[in-house]
């Protein structure tokens, strides 16, 4: 059997076959979705390898191609669409030990794919620099995992998401008997970004970085959720206030945030912010205008130390809500910024607090956009689909997080180009097979 041959090639201890390890390294946060949980809970690799060098990755790829064994690449496994779950067994290739920061220059950081974003950010801040964008999971998530499985996060209010020119280049390995290393930049990177690692193994990336800002963190509390959203929109558009995070949660979502409990007031919706501290006065004035009140501040010197507001934003808000009630899941939605309150009212009238609102203000292609991750109480797949259809019927676009199929979750991916790149770089369809619909075997 091929596992024995792989052990001969790499050394027995390198090929991990214990059931517990295979299960752990085959799973990500797919259980965010009760639908994905049912579809993917039995899926698992035949073995896992934690690669320590690019040469070793090359050896494994050449072996896999020769023996027609599937490979699924894994970073920290924090993706929440089951992206990193192998559908057809084979090898899980954990790249977290490819963790070398190769070079930090004035405006770029060149790193191996397994570098944790938290480690990179810390390193950069010590040198007076910072990342442009990172997910709220940055303490664990890897550069390669973010590029291939993520979209945006902290910083996206200023710099947009992964498609907005924040990456200079990516180096990928092809899945051929003689693997090649290709370095791509510009538009070609779109066949690698958020592609669930289906067109090549990212081994290195160069990210654009910025001079560091002294960020203070604030919670602004509101009696009315609509005022919280209006305030956030005004703040997002206010060029005089430099910000890294504008995250809005409707009550009762904040009631599930244990670490913040003593700083929150019952019934109040909150906006969580990272702001250039020099703009504090302007922030206070703006908050007042919208009947909000700054109720908590984490000073600059405690930035990214201990309690961090980003731990309650983006999909962390869903995580805390889910911890409170296991039947809680979420959607990814794009409201029409000109009809946002009309759309929210229609949804509230129809579903009451079965759907609770959460927005992350970001900039997409230069335009301020309220991206939404509404939390919802899950009853059944039929009910979930009914809610999705209703959102769409009132003009809210859904990026469905309840599918592992690439291209079905939204994000306007260039699927034709991704499919063509896959045929070129992975001619035997061995890399994370089943995630691109046209290559998919039926998964039940």
Where does this chain bind ligand FAD (CB under 6 A)?
28-29, 72-80, 83-84, 95, 113, 135-137, 141-142, 144-146, 148-153, 196-197, 201-202, 314-316, 319, 432
Closest CB to ligand FAD among residues 171, 221: 171
For residues 59 and 78, give the distance between their C-alpha atoms in angstroms, rounded to a whole number.
26
C-beta neighbour count of 200 within 10 angstroms: 29
**Which secondary structure element, helix H or strand E, spans residue 418, and what is its range?**
helix 415-425
For residues 193 and 164, give the distance between their C-alpha atoms in angstroms, rounded to a whole number.
11
Closest CB to ligand FAD among residues 83, 191: 83
Q: Which two tokens stand for residue 129?
A: 């620099």
For residues 43 and 83, give the distance between their C-alpha atoms in angstroms, rounded to a whole number.
12
Nearest to 424 by CA among 204, 203, 88, 180: 180
Q: Which two tokens stand for residue 274?
A: 């990272």
For residues 160 and 84, give the distance between their C-alpha atoms in angstroms, rounded to a whole number.
24
| Cβ neighbourhood burial of 222 (10 Å; 0-12, 13-18, 19+) | buried
CB 128 to ligand FAD: min, Å? 25
Residue keyed to tokens 């912010």: 273
CB 318 to ligand FAD: min, Å? 7
Closest CB to ligand FAD among residues 208, 390: 208
CB 201 to ligand FAD: min, Å? 5
- 368 Cβ contact partners less than 8 Å away, ≥ 6 residues apart: 157, 233, 236, 237, 337, 361, 362
Calculate helix-pair angle for 54-67, 2-10, nearest 10 degrees.
160
CB 263 to ligand FAD: min, Å? 20
CB 389 to ligand FAD: min, Å? 25
CB 407 to ligand FAD: min, Å? 13
Closest CB to ligand FAD among residues 217, 343: 217
CB 146 to ligand FAD: min, Å? 3
Closest CB to ligand FAD among residues 98, 355: 98
Closest CB to ligand FAD among residues 117, 287: 117
Position closest to ligand FAD via CB: 145
CB 382 to ligand FAD: min, Å? 26
Helix (H, G, I), strand (E, B) or coil at 436: coil
Closest CB to ligand FAD among residues 113, 418: 113
For residues 406 and 400, give the distance between their C-alpha atoms in angstroms, rounded to a whole number.
11
Does the bond joining 68 to the residue before it have cis omega, within 30 degrees of 0?
A: no
Closest CB to ligand FAD among residues 150, 292: 150
């Amino acid at each position: 059997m091929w596992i024995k041959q792989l052990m001969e090639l790499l050394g027995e201890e390198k090929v991990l076959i214990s059931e517990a390890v295979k299960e752990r390294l085959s799973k990500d946060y797919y259980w965010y979705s009760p639908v994905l949980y049912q579809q993917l809970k039995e899926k698992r690799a035949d073995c896992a390898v934690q690669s320590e060098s690019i040469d070793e990755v090359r050896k494994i790829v050449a072996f896999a191609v020769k023996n027609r064994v599937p490979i699924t690449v894994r970073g920290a496994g924090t993706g929440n669409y089951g992206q990193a779950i192998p559908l057809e067994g084979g090898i899980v290739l954990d790249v977290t030990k490819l963790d070398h920061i190769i070079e930090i220059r004035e405006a770029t950081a060149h790193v191996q794919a397994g570098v944790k974003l938290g480690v990179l950010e810390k390193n950069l801040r010590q040198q007076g620099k910072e990342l442009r964008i990172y997910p709220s999971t940055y303490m664990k998530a890897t550069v390669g995992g973010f590029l291939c499985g993520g979209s945006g996060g902290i910083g996206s209010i200023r710099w947009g998401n992964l498609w907005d020119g924040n990456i200079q280049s990516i180096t990928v390995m092809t899945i051929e008997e003689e693997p090649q290393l290709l370095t791509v930049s510009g538009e070609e990177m779109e066949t690698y970004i958020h592609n669930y690692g289906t067109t090549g193994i990212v081994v290195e990336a160069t990210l654009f970085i910025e001079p560091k800002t002294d960020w203070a963190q604030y919670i602004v509390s509101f009696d009315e959720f609509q005022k919280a959203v209006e305030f956030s929109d005004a703040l997002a558009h206010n060029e005089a206030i430099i910000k890294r995070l504008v995250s809005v949660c409707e009550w009762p979502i904040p009631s599930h945030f244990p670490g913040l409990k003593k700083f929150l007031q019952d019934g109040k919706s909150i906006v969580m912010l990272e702001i250039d501290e020099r703009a504090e006065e302007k922030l206070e004035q703006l908050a007042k205008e919208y009947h909000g009140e700054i109720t908590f501040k984490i000073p600059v010197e405690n930035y990214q130390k201990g309690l961090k507001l980003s731990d309650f934003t983006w999909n962390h808000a869903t995580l805390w809500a889910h911890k409170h009630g296991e039947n809680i899941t979420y959607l990814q939605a794009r409201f029409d910024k000109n009809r946002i309150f009309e759309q929210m009212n229609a949804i509230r009238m129809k579903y009451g607090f079965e759907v609770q609102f959460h927005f992350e203000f970001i900039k997409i292609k230069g335009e301020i956009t309220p991206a939404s991750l509404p939390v919802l109480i899950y009853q059944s797949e039929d009910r979930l689909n009914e809610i999705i259809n209703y959102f769409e019927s009132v003009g809210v676009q859904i990026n469905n997080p309840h599918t592992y199929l690439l291209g079905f979750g939204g994000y306007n991916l260039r699927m034709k180009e991704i499919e063509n790149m896959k045929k070129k770089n992975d001619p035997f369809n061995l890399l994370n097979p089943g995630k691109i619909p046209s290559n998919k075997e039926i998964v039940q």
